[in-house]
Amino acid sequence: MRRYNLGLDGREFVIDVQELTADSFEVFVGDERYEVTLSGDEDLPEATITPGYQPGVDPTRPSTTSPRPARGPAAPKRRAVDAPPASAGGATLSAPMPGVILEIFVKAGDVVERGQRIAVLDAMKMHNLIRAPRAATIREVCVEPGQAVGHGDALVRYQEA
Amino acid sequence: MISPDTLGLLLQGLSHVTVASAVMIGLALVLLYLGIEKGYEPLLLLPIGAGCLLANLPLSPLIAEDGMLRVLYDMGIQNELFPLLIFIGIGALTDFGPLLENPRLVLLGAAGQFGIFLTLIAALLLGFTRPEAASIGIIGAIDGPTSIYVSGLLAPHLLGPITVAAYSYMSLVPIILPPIMRLLTTKEERLVRMPYSQRTLSRRTRILFPILVTLVVGTLVPFATPLIGMLMLGNLMKESGAVERLTKASAQEIANTVTLFLGLAIGSTMVGAEFLKPRTLAILVLGIVAFAVDAMAGVLFAKLLNKLSGGKVNPLIGAAGISAFPMAARVVQRVAQEDDFENFLLMHAMGANAAGQIASVVAGGVLLALMGAGAL
C-alpha cells in the first residue's frame, strides 16, 4: 500500500494504492474504492514530469516511479538505481518479467536500431534477449549485470531517434 | 597341447556372439553417439547406452544372477524406487509459482494429456494388450520417470523401448513442438501478447500448495500417490526452506546418483532377442504419435480459451501443457519471439508446463487405476 497526498485545483486528496497484481490495483480516493487495471505504462517522450512536488522526505524515492511498494529481497538494489532521469523526457524500457540481468550490450550514448540487443535477462533459468523496441539513443543504463529485477523495473532509458 | 575343450572355454566369449547381440551393441553405440556428440539428454542416454552395451556382451556377468546391472534392476526398477527418488529431485527443482499466480492454466495441463488416451486406443487396435497399450500411451506425457513408473508396473517387458522412446522424444521437444505449434495457429494468434500478471504469493501459499495437492490427488487417484507424493515432498522441502541440505541433496546428489543407476538398469533390459521385435518399432512410432497428439490437444484447447477470453490467451502456451518441464515452456517462448521479439510468454508457459507436470502424474495414476494395477 502506498499513500499519495495531493492537491488538485486547490482540493486535497488522499489516495491509497494497493498493488494486487502487476497490472491491477485497488485504489482508494478518500472513501471511494476503485479497481484499476493498468494496460500500458510508458514515459512519453518529451513529457515533463514536474519535479516540484516531492512527497515524503526521502529524495531518492520520488513519486514519479511506479506506485509499487518495494518487493523485498527479490529486488534489493532497485531503488538505489531507479533515480529520476537526468533531464525530463525520454522513454523507458522495462523488464518484462522478474529475473536477473546477465549481460548488457549498450551504454549511455549508444545509438541503437529497432531489434538491436540491449540485455540478457535470466528468468526461470532461461536466457531472454531484450531488444530495442524502436530506434533510439540510449540515455541511461539503469541496471548492472548480476542485478535482480522485478517486473516493470527500468532497464534503460532512451530518447527516440 | 591345448585340448579343444580348453580352447572352447577360453574362446567361449567369441563363440557366443550372436547377430542379435551385435545389432544391440550397434544400437548402444548409436545411443552413446546421440548422448555424447548430439547432446540429446546425455545424462540418460549415456548410461542407457552403456548399460545396453554391457548387457549385450556375450555371457555378460553383469546381467547374470547377482551381476551388478541385475542387482540395480532388482533394487530400483522392479519396485519403482528409482523413478520415485528422481521425482523428489524434480519436485525440488520445480517452481509452481507461475501456476499459482494463474491457476486457470491447470486446464491446459489437463488438455495436454489427451494424446495419452488416444494412443492407448491406437495401441489396442494394433494388438497390444491393455497394460501394454497403457504403458505406450504414457509416453505421450513426455515425462521419463512417470513412463518408467507406469510401464514398470503394467508391462515390465516393454520398459526398455518405452524408456528410450520417452527420453529420446524428450530431447526432441525443441524439434517436434515448433512445427506443430505453427501448423495449428495463425500468425495473428501467435502475436497475442499476454502481459505478465503477478500476484504476490505468500510463503504460506507456497508451503500449503504441495500439501494440499498431495491430499487431494492422493485421495482422488490413489495410484498416483507415490508419484505425486514424492514430487510434492521435493517441492515442500524447497518452498519451506527449512531443510536446504536435503533439498540440495535431492535435487543434485541423490538425483544424479539415481540417474546413473536408473540409466544403467534400463539399458540392461535392452537385450537382443527381446528388444529386436517389430513391436519395438511400433512402440517408437506410437510414442511419437502420443507426443504429437498431446501437443495438438494442448494448442487446440488454448485456442478455445483464446476464443472464450476474447483473444487474450496466446494459443502457443497450450503446447507447454504436455509435461517435459521446463523445456516445453522454453520452446513456447522461443517460437513466440520469432514473430514478435517484444512478446514474453515465458511465465504463462511455465505455469501451463507445471500444470502439465502434475496432470501427467495424475494421468499415470488414472491409467494404473483403469488397468486395475492393484491386482498385480
CATH code of residue A137: 2.40.50.100
Measure the CA–CA gap between B339 and B327, rounded to whole angstroms: 20
Partners of residue B196 in chain A, C-beta under 8 Å: 22-23, 96-97, 151
Which one-letter amino acid corresponds to residue B260? L
pLDDT band at A54 (very low <50, low <70, confident <90, very high): very low
> For residues B36 and B16, what is the distance between their CA atoms, to the nearest angstrom?
29
Q: For residue B346, list chain A residues with Cβ-Cβ distance below 8 A.
A: 97, 123-124, 126, 128
- The C-alpha atoms of residue B112 and residue B106 are separated, in whole angstroms, by 10
pLDDT at res. A53: 41
> Does residue A19 lie in a domain region?
no
Other Cβ atoms less than 10 A from the Cβ of A16: the count is: 16
**What separation in angstroms does the CA of B36 have from each of A133, B39, B40, B164, B268?**
39, 5, 8, 16, 19
Q: Are B101 and B286 in contact (CB under 8 A)?
A: no
- The pTM assigned to this predicted structure is 0.76
Residue B325: its pLDDT value, please?
81
Are B347 and A124 within 8 A, CB to CB? yes
Any alpha helices (H) in B18-105, and if so which ranges? 19-36, 42-56, 68-72, 81-93, 97-101
Tell me which residue has cell 517441492.
Answer: B235
SS3 content of chain A, % helix, strand, coil (to 5): 5, 45, 50
Distance to chain A for B44, nearest Cα, Å: 21
Which residues numbered 133-162 in B keep a CB inside 8 Å of some CB on A?
none
Give the pLDDT score at B66: 92
As for how many domains chain B has, the answer is 1
Residues of B in contact with A125 (CB under 8 A): 326
Residue B88 lies in a domain: yes
Residue A116 one-letter amino acid: Q
pLDDT value of position B132: 93
Chain B nearest-CA residue for A97? B196
| Mutant choice from A126, A127, A134 vs B, greatest count of B C-beta within 10 A | A126
pLDDT over 70 (residue A89): no
Is residue B108 domain-resident? yes
Q: Judge whether residue A138 has pLDDT over 60.
A: yes
Strand partners, A5: A14
Asked if residue A131 is part of any domain, the answer here is: yes
Contact A123 B346 (CB under 8 A): yes
Assigned C-alpha cell, B7: 580352447
Position A50 in a domain: no
pLDDT of B331 reads: 93
Domain count, chain A: 1
Separation of CA A146 from chain center? 19
> What residues in A contact B333, CB-CB < 8 Å?
126, 128
Looking at per-residue pLDDT, the higher value among B167 and A77 belongs to: B167
Tell which of A42, A68, A124, A127 to mutate to test the B interface (max B CBs under 10 Å): A124
**Residue A114 CB coordination number (10 Å):** 12
Instruction: Note whether A131 contacts B341, CB cutoff 8 Å.
Output: yes
From A27-41, A54-68, A135-149, B184-198, the region with the lowest mean pLDDT: A54-68
The answer to whether residue A14 sits within a structural domain is no
Residues spanned by the domain of A138: 76-160
Cβ within 8 Å, pair B326-A125: yes
Q: Identify whether A62 is part of a domain.
A: no
Q: What is the pLDDT of residue A106?
A: 94
A133 within a domain of the structure (yes/no)? yes
Task: List, run by run, the mean pLDDT of 10-residue segments along chain B (376 residues).
Answer: 81 87 93 89 90 93 92 91 94 90 88 89 93 92 90 91 87 90 94 81 93 95 94 96 94 94 92 87 92 93 92 92 87 93 91 92 92 62
Quick one: pLDDT band at residue A50, thresholds 50, 70, 90? Answer: very low
Q: Distance, in angstroms, between A60 CA and closest chain B CA? A: 25
Task: List the A99-104 sheet strands across, edge first.
Answer: A126-131, A117-123, A99-104, A148-149
Chain B, residues 199-218, CB within 8 A of chain A, namely 199-200
CB contact under 8 A, A128 and B346: yes
Among A24, A71, A124, whose Cβ lies nearest the Cβ of B95? Answer: A124
Q: Is the bond leading into B326 cis (omega within 30 degrees of zero)?
A: yes
Q: Which phi and psi angles does B176 have, rounded to 5°?
A: -85, -40
Nearest to B287 by CA among B124, B125, B115, B127: B115
In a domain, B244, yes or no: yes
Q: Which of A21, A125, A133 lies at the smallest CB-CB distance from B197?
A: A21
- Give me the interface pTM, i.e. the ipTM: 0.72
Residue for cell digits 552413446?
Answer: B32
Give me the residue from A23, A71, A124 closest to B197, CB to CB.
Answer: A23
Q: CB distance B98–A124 less than 8 Å? A: yes
Give dist(CA B183, CA A76) in Å, integer. Answer: 44
Q: How far is A12 from chain B (nearest CA, A)?
A: 31
What pLDDT, on a 0 to 100 scale, did the predictor assign at position A43? Answer: 57
The SS3 call for residue A106 is coil
Q: Is residue B92 part of a domain?
A: yes
Residue A3 falls inside a structural domain:
no
A 65-124 residues with CB < 8 A to B? 71, 96-98, 115, 123-124
Strands A91-94 and A154-160: antiparallel
B36 inside domain: no
Q: List the single range of A49-53, A133-137, B125-129, B291-295 with lowest mean pLDDT.
A: A49-53
Range of the domain at B228: 74-375
